Amino acid sequence: MLAIDRLHSNQGGMAPTMDTSTEKVMDLHAAVSRFVPDGAHLSIGGFTCNRNPMAAVYELIRQKKTGLHLYAHSNGQGVDELVGSGCVARIEIAYAGTGRFAPTCIRFRKAVESRAVAVEDYSNYQMTLRFLAGAMGVPFMPTRSALGTDIIRRWGFSEQERRSDPRLPDEKLVVMDNPFGAWAETERVVLVPAIRPDVTLLHVQKAGRDGTARIEGLTFADVEQAKAASHVIVTCEELMDAGELRSQPHLNQIPGIIVDAVVHAPHGAYPTACYRYYDYDPAFLNDYLPVLRLRPGLPERLPHRSHGR
Amino acid sequence: MPDYNARELMAVAAARKINDGEIVFCGTGISMLAAMAAKHISAPNSIIIFETGAIDSQLEEIPMAVGDPRVMYGASSNTGLADSFALMQNRTTGRHVVGILGAAQIDKFGNLNSTVVGDYAHPKVRFSGSGGAADVASFVDRTIIFMQHERRKFVSKVDYLTSPGWLDGPAGRRRAGLTGSGPSAVISNLAVMGFDADSREMFLEAYFPGTTPQAVLDHMEFSVDLSRARELEPPTAAELKILREIVDPQRLILGG
């Protein structure tokens, strides 16, 4: 067997598919149980206290998913709920925090300190490039970011773990001399490996029944994260007629053909913000720490709001 | 007693370091105060950008995080991380960017740790991680660093080097393959520190009114040159008025 064939046969996860149907609407339970098996490689969109796909996150928790391999750049509340609920085995991330509300995600911190999750650190731009590489179908992207730092030198996942797991690249990253000499005034680059999630979860403002999706405001790396994944679940504030979104295609970022499931989930980013719909909820986010302290057994989630919409 | 608090003084000290026409990369917290204050005080033509994608933001109300939708207010364009970081290293705009960063630990060359205290594999304390800090510190020509002045934070060796300062000295960045310059100033709750043009080691540039150079040293694990130190000019009434009435009237970041 050629190495390349072995690699393909060992990829694991669900085979990428392209869904051209015009009717992808389903409920959250169906979408999550169909596209997110235990152990899935999962990426979640949003940024710290903004547009985290919380409705989908809470559904993962309700379905008691385990062994997830989670990818994010700077994520806050979504990461913390998933990690704190015991859904996550490994996490590759640049920043786990919720801005002023939790400069370091509370349950993430506890899980890393007690080694309940394995963590691999990158920078935000490195993670963005990794999603972009996945979206482009190339194995890596180059950057100068973090040369000379411990992000390059220290690995969270061991070399042995990486080599024995076909879902992980053999190296965390690779530093190499610029193969184009000194072109672009650059002597050296670090190559960061593509991320190829089984599934990406996004919460957006508007989506059509065919999967066409519109993000209003900051897009973060959501578009790259969606395009890198084998499957995409989009939750939305407003479920629209696809024709209405297609009448202004310059405002859409996500083409329907890369989306597998559309879920109508108003307030689906709550307690994080969703621009033009609602702000983050400072009362909830400020209560999060004291509530966790009162219940040291780590609640599955904050019970009073996570089911309600 | 002076009628201002340490945060107000830190924000003003940082704002004074921002030059007119510079592009200011903003993080969460006090760096937003500094960037907003600079626009109103000394650098009306400075540009505020965020890694999350807001370019040339007017910042009407203090955002609580760089991911806060408030960063988009009055921006020239709204993009995402890939575009924003490209702007920071692009040869046209990159050289004008001054990054404002913070960290849990700093060493004498301005290398920053925002990842762990203790061993990486068995951390005593886990922090948020780099976020965009390592990117900014790698790409831009100038950084200003906010720190709390404590012995456990100004350390001989950072437990984890998250964001590159001058690495191991004057040639460190070049050897590692980094372009641009390293940190230019550290602003703490006690002092303003500079970096020597030859050795790239931290020195005491100014101490805050009410403290002394020795008191600053007492809050550090390593020692620095004190010979250039002067007392920092306190914030003027005009600077304080801008900070309190325009920048953060709700005192969300300035505190009580």
Summarised one tens digit per residue, pLDDT across range B200-214 is 999 999 999 999 999
Looking at the structure of chain B, the number of domains it has is 1
Give the pLDDT of residue A295.
Answer: 64
Interface test with chain B among A52, A70, A74, by most B beta carbons within 10 Å: A74
What single-letter amino acid sits at B153?
A: K
Domain that holds residue B77: 6-247
Q: Specify if B43 maps to a domain.
A: yes
For residue B138, give the chain A residue with the closest CA: A145
pLDDT at A10: 45
Would you say A201 and A59 are in contact if contact means Cβ atoms under 8 Å apart? no
Tell if the CB–CB gap between A125 and B81 is shorter than 8 Å: yes
Contact flag B81-A128 (C-beta cutoff 8 Å): yes
| CA proximity to A265, closest of A30, A54, A75, A47 | A54
CATH number of A17-138+194-294: 3.40.1080.10
Judged by CB atoms closer than 8 Å, whether chains meet at A99 and B176 is answered as no
Q: Is B170 on the interface with A (CB under 8 A)?
A: no
Does residue B170 lie in a domain region? Answer: yes
Domain positions in chain A: 17-138+194-294, 141-193
Inter-chain residue contact A74 with B164, CB threshold 8 Å: no
Q: How far apart are the C-alpha atoms of A32 and A27, rounded to whole Å?
A: 9
Taking each continuous run of H as one helix and of E as one strand, the counts in chain A are 11, 13
Q: Using CB atoms, which residue from B128, B161, B175 is nearest to A95?
A: B128
Q: Point out which residues pair with A160 in neighbouring strands.
A: none
In angstroms, the CA A101 to CA A154 distance is: 29
B106, B112 contact by CB (below 8 A): yes
* Nearest CA among A223, A196, A220, A42 for reference residue A133: A196
> Is B135 in CB contact (< 8 Å) with chain A?
yes
Closest Cα in chain B, distance from residue A300 (Å): 22
- In a domain, residue B114? The reply is yes
Whether B255 is covered by a domain: the verdict is: no
> Which B residues, 8 through 37, put their C-beta within 8 Å of a C-beta on chain A?
28-29
B134: Cβ–Cβ under 8 A, 6 or more apart, which residues? A123, A145, A146, A149, A151, B162, B163, B164
Per-residue model confidence (pLDDT) at position B159:
98
Cβ-Cβ contacts under 8 Å for B72 (sequence gap 6 or more): A217, A218, A275, B54, B57, B78
pLDDT of residue A7: 47
Can you read off the two tokens belonging to residue A299?
């609640």
Q: Which residues contact B213 (CB under 8 A, 6 or more apart)?
A: B204, B207, B226, B229
B190 to chain A, minimum CA–CA distance in Å?
A: 22
CA nearest to A272 within chain B:
B68
Is residue B1 in some structural domain?
A: no
Q: Which pLDDT tens digit goes with each residue over B112-125?
A: 999 999 999 999 99
Backbone angles phi, psi at B207, to 5 degrees: -110, 150
Tokens 């913000």 locate to A273
Tens of pLDDT, residue by residue over A244-290, are 999 999 999 999 999 999 999 999 999 999 999 999 999 999 998 88
So what's the pLDDT on residue A22? 87
User: Which chain A residue has the Cα nearest residue B71?
Assistant: A218
Q: Nearest Cα to A122, choosing from B174, B111, B128, B165?
A: B128
Helix (H) or strand (E) holding B84: helix B81-89
Q: How many CB pairs under 8 A join A and B?
A: 196
- B130 vs A273: CB contact, 8 Å cut-off? no
Task: List the pLDDT tens digit at each of the 256 positions of chain B.
Answer: 458 999 999 999 999 999 999 999 998 888 899 999 999 988 999 999 999 999 999 998 889 889 999 999 999 999 999 999 999 998 899 999 999 999 999 999 999 999 999 999 999 999 999 999 999 999 998 999 999 999 999 999 999 999 999 999 999 999 999 988 999 999 999 999 999 999 999 999 999 999 999 999 999 999 999 999 999 999 999 999 999 999 999 998 898 7
User: Does B139 sit within 8 Å of A123, measured CB to CB?
Assistant: no
**Alpha helix positions (H), A201-246:** 222-228, 242-246
What pLDDT does residue B179 have?
86
Chain A interface, best mutation among B138, B141, B148, B166, by max A CB count within 10 A = B138
Whether B135 and A145 lie within 8 Å, measured CB to CB = yes
**Any idea which architecture A141-193 has in CATH?**
2-Layer Sandwich (3.30)
**Nearest Cβ partner for B129 among A96, A148, A218:** A96
Phi-psi region of B153 (alpha: psi -120 to 50; beta: other; left: phi over 0): alpha
* Regions of chain A with pLDDT less than 50: 1, 6-10, 299-309
Q: Where are the alpha helices (DSSP H) in chain A?
A: 3-9, 28-35, 54-62, 77-84, 106-113, 124-136, 150-153, 159-164, 222-228, 242-246, 282-294
In a domain, B252, yes or no: no
Which CATH number does the domain housing residue B11 bear? 3.40.1080.10
User: Could you list the active site residues of B?
Assistant: 51
The pLDDT value recorded for residue A5 is 53
- Contact residues, B window 51-80, toward A, CB-based 8 Å cutoff: 51-54, 63-69, 71-72, 78-80
Both tokens of A246, joined, read 């297609």
B228/B219 Cα distance (integer angstroms): 18
- Return d(Cα B208, Cα B206) in angstroms, integer: 7
**CA distances (Å), B110 to each of A160, B13, B172, B191, in order?**
34, 18, 12, 15
CB contact under 8 A, A149 and B79: no
- Quote the minimal CA–CA distance from A167 to chain B in Å: 22
The residues pairing with A93 across neighbouring beta strands, listed in sequence order, are A121
Give yes or no for B192 touching A (CB within 8 A).
Answer: no
